Amino acid sequence: MASSLHSWSSGLFFLIVSTSAMFIGMAAGYSRAPAPTAFRPSLWSQAHATFYGDETARETMGGACGYGNLFQTGYGTDTVALSTTLFNSGYACGTCYQIKCTNARACYGAIATVTATNICPPNWSKDSNRGGWCNPPRVHFDMSKPAFMKIAQWKAGIVPVMYRRVPCVRIGGLRFRFQGNGYWLLVYVMNVGGGGDIASMWVKGSKTGWIRMSHNWGASYQAFASLGGQALSFKITSYTTKQTVIALNVSPSNWAVGMTFKSSVNFR
């Protein structure tokens, strides 16, 4: 009888421990958020490429993304203007592509890695296959001339290409350039790694909570709030990977319009 009681007690103890472990495991599983996904290259697809400007790439400065002088902001001459199909109302600003020329005598066989800094607008006065290269729904890359010359002879004008999205490899953290006024903060975000793109953004002053910013155009986000005299932090979510990073105390309280600040965080 004692032996049976001991066996029954041991079995009950094992059941309780096992059940408790199961519930703890389930709780741990439900409370654990999925790990952020680093950006991975896409598959190769077909398109066409042209170039604009000359060997100095002067015509590429500025651009619809708002990066300004591309030499000063770190993008250099390896840049591209995207057709509207790819540009996505500016959400594609900062994305990176590998492009290689195919099936043309003008091809060099090399691959150019470029960053999207501009839009190639439609030309409705021309047929999509006869000069209206960037008319929707065409996928088209209008490259800087130095970038185009890496993959093909510039005299070709237009060449068939294969392209794919690739991770943007950046040195250092995200950079923020401030514009606006005392009641309206406009921020251009640059040097974005990983997917290179931004879906949403928040700002936090040293005297406020998190304020959601709205997409203005290109790589800029805005907040209609009085944030002068406050140290500013930013929270940013990637459009492609959905990763979120927080850049704390990016600027001191005495920031001013026209200044650019560097953070220590970036996307993978």
Nearest residue to 227 via CA among 180, 175, 183, 164 = 183
Mean pLDDT of 14-36: 38
What element of type H or E holds 25?
A: helix 2-31
Q: Does 161 share its domain with 214?
A: no
Higher pLDDT, 129 or 178: 178
In a domain, 162, yes or no: yes
User: Which residues on neighbouring strands pair with residue 18, listed in sequence order?
Assistant: none
Average pLDDT over residues 237-242: 96
As a whole number, mean pLDDT of residues 237-254 equals 97
**Within a domain: 80:** yes
146 and 183 fall within a common domain: no
What is the rounded CA–CA span in Å between residue 55 and residue 145?
6
159 lies in the same domain as 180: no
Cα–Cα dist 84/92, whole Å: 10
Is residue 29 scored above 80 in pLDDT? no
Question: Are 99 and 59 within one domain?
Answer: yes
Please, what is the Cα angle at 199 between 28 and 96, to 5 degrees?
Answer: 105
pLDDT digits (tens, 9 = 90+) for 165-177: 999 999 999 999 9
Q: Is the pLDDT of residue 26 over 90?
A: no
Question: Is the domain of 139 the same as that of 199?
Answer: no
* pLDDT, mean over the chain: 88
Please compute the mean of the pLDDT values over residues 152-175 and round it to a whole number: 96
State the amino acid at position 133 in one-letter form: W
Q: Is the pLDDT of residue 130 over 70?
A: yes
Phi-psi region of 267 (alpha: psi -120 to 50; beta: other; left: phi over 0): beta
Dist. CA 104–CA 83, nearest whole Å: 22
User: 63 and 161 share a domain?
Assistant: yes
Are 202 and 213 in contact by the 8 Å Cβ rule? The answer is yes
Domain of 116, in residue numbers: 45-166
Q: What is the pLDDT of residue 37?
A: 61
pLDDT of residue 39: 83
Whole-structure pTM value: 0.84
The reply to whether 196 and 160 lie within a common domain is no
Contacts of 168 (CB under 8 A, 6+ apart): 39, 94, 95, 96, 115, 192, 193, 194, 195, 196
The predicted structure's pLDDT at residue 103: 78
Main-chain dihedrals φ then ψ at residue 219, nearest 5 degrees = -100, 25
Confidence of residue 12 (pLDDT cuts 50, 70, 90): very low
Does 62 share its domain with 96? Answer: yes
Same domain, 125 and 189: no
| 50, 108: one domain | yes
163 vs 30 pLDDT, higher one? 163
The answer to whether residue 21 scores a pLDDT higher than 60 is no
Q: Is the pLDDT of residue 28 over 80?
A: no
Is residue 212 predicted with pLDDT exceeding 70? yes
Same domain, 124 and 232: no
Beta bridge mates, 96:
115, 166
**9 phi, psi to nearest 5 deg:** -65, -40
Condensed to tens digits (0 to 9), the pLDDT of residues 32-90 reads: 334 456 788 999 999 999 999 999 898 899 899 999 999 999 999 999 999 999 999 99
- With a pLDDT cut of 70, the percent of the chain lying above it is 86
Residues 162, 235: one domain? no
pLDDT at residue 174, rounded to an integer: 98
Round to whole Å and give the CA distance between 87 and 117: 10
pLDDT at 151 over 80: yes
What CATH number is given to the structural domain containing 123? 2.40.40.10
pLDDT of residue 144: 97
The burial of 125, by beta-carbon neighbours within 10 Å (0-12 exposed, 13-18 middle, 19 or more buried), is given as: exposed
In percent, how much of the chain has pLDDT > 90? 79
Q: Which two tokens stand for residue 28?
A: 């741990």
CA-CA-CA-CA torsion sign (222, 227, 228, 231): negative
- The DSSP element (H or E) to which 23 belongs, if any, is helix 2-31
Res 209 pLDDT > 70 = yes
Q: Which of 100, 135, 166 is the last residue of a domain?
A: 166
